[in-house]
Amino acid sequence: MASAAEQLASNLNFAAFAKAEDLKKRIWFTLGALLIYRLGTYIPMPGINPDAFAQAFQQQSGGVLGMFNMFAGGAVERMAIFALGIMPYISASIIMQLLTSVVPSLEQLKKEGEQGRKVINQYTRYGTVLLATVQAYGIAIGLEGGQNIVADPGWFFRISAVITLVGGTMFLMWLGEQITARGIGNGISLIIFSGIVAGLPTAIGGTLELGRTGAMSTGLILAIIVIAIVVIGVIVFFERAQRRLLIQYPKRQVGNRMFQGDTSHLPLKLNTAGVIPPIFASSLLLLPATMAGFSDTTQLPGWAGTLLATLGHGQPLYMILYAALIAFFAFFYTAIVFNPKDTADQLKKHSGFIPGYRPGERTAEYIDYVLTRITVVGAIYLVLVCLLPEFLISATGVPFYLGGTSLLIVVSVTLDTVAQVQGHLIAHQYEGLIKKSKLRGGKRGR
């Protein structure tokens, strides 16, 4: 027999949505916040010559700047106040996750519940300010090194640039927290999602223009569309895939009554690392080419020029290293965010156990064994999804927005957002059922 939650989920429809006033307010708040973010990506940073910067950006758009521009919703190519985007906050969050695994005091804070998470979140904010300041100062120095980009180079421009860019990042961090608290959730992810989606019309329009001019055949465009749909379907399947471990709880006696032992499942996601592996792998591989682009290539030794050429998009060495780094970060980040020993200790604390395995160390070993096996499948999935668009980009010159990382982010955030909306609708229907039962009880009492 289906559970009450499943029955409610199956009954979700537009009529239920129309009655969920709180959910509609949350959606309107989220849309308004994202609109403010999009407007901010068009407000230029003071002291910049837009034409000179646009010309310089076009020369470096194929490197790491192109990827950052995608995550920032086009703010980098316009050098807007949100040019740093939300990436410093994401970097600080990842660093804090790493530190909580190696620093005993932070690990203890993580186990203290809500109060400990608040302290860790505050440390993450401090780390965001520090990273954003360093990156903003580096951007200011880099802009001054460009030809006629900065109208009045000097300390005044550097300080104003740092204040503007750090302020933009901190505002986006606050905006993301507001969307999470007062909107439909996943605020930071939705900001990145909206930035990527905002560039899709331009990318699609550019592809169609190539077809109109004959630079790309109609058959090839249709093939790319079909491949994109298939890849999206594969991403949906693997992102929802789980390995569920059976958890049993023993019988318990309360007073004179004996309660039957309960069963549940421990869900292990096939792709526990999410989109972090391709982001990190892309950043590391594109960084040398970006740094070389800002320097005088004629002064580089011969071996360096050859290495940079072999690390270009579509080159065999680039593909091999990209696949290897994705697989490495898939295992590395999974080990950081999921600790089998802590999970086994929590199960033992609540008298839960996996049938056939002793609580404690043996359970932790089994969970680690299963997690390693499914992470192998998850890493292969990430490599294939990310490399297929790379081959298309190399062979046909399709827009960068059809990259595997952007598709992963868009599909993953869409799935999470739909789940959040369904969760609010289910909660609304539960509240409606409770109110009806109270009204019926009141009438009977009369």
Count the Cβ atoms, other than its own, within 10 Å of residue 309.
Answer: 11
The Cα–Cα gap between 444 and 414 comes to 45
pLDDT at 275: 82
User: Distance of CA 356 to CAs 109, 122, 349, 353, 364, Å?
Assistant: 33, 42, 18, 9, 13
Please, what is the angle between helix 361-396 and helix 316-337, to 10°? 150
CA angle 92-288-276, nearest 5°?
Answer: 35
Following DSSP, what letter does each residue of 390-429 receive, concatenated? HHHHHHH---GGGSHHHHHHHHHHHHHHHHHHHHHHHHHH
Residue reference for tokens 């802590």: 342
- 339 closest CA partner among 364, 376, 374: 364
Low-confidence ranges of the chain (pLDDT < 50): 1-12, 296-297
Q: 252-254 and 242-248 as β-strands: parallel, antiparallel, unpaired? A: unpaired
- 312 closest CA partner among 280, 281, 289, 282: 289
Q: Are 125 and 171 in contact (CB under 8 A)?
A: no
Q: Are 192 and 388 in contact (CB under 8 A)?
A: no
Summarize pLDDT for 34-49 with one digit per residue, the tens: 999 999 999 888 888 8
Cβ partners under 8 Å of residue 70, min gap 6: 195, 196, 199, 400, 401, 403, 406
Count the Cβ atoms, other than its own, within 10 Å of residue 426.
Answer: 18
pLDDT at 9: 45
- 323 closest CA partner among 399, 268, 404: 404
pLDDT at 259: 58
pLDDT at 441: 57
The Cα–Cα gap between 349 and 370 comes to 21
Cβ partners under 8 Å of residue 65, min gap 6: 57, 76, 290
Using CB atoms within 10 Å of the CB of residue 126, give its burial: 0 to 12 exposed, 13 to 18 middle, 19+ buried: exposed
The Cα–Cα gap between 178 and 327 comes to 34
Following DSSP, what letter does each residue of 233-289 receive, concatenated? HHHHHHHH-EEEEEEE---EEETTEEEPPPEEEEEEETTTTTTHHHHHHHHHHHHHH
- Exposed e or buried b per residue across 19-57, where buried means at least 16 C-beta atoms within 10 angstroms of its C-beta: ebeebeebbebbeebbeebbebbeebbebbbeebbeebb
Domains of the chain in start order, with CATH, are 23-210 (1.10.3370.10), 217-402 (1.10.3370.10)
- 211 closest CA partner among 397, 392, 70, 389: 397
The Cα–Cα gap between 100 and 328 comes to 20
Beta bridge partners of 254: 257
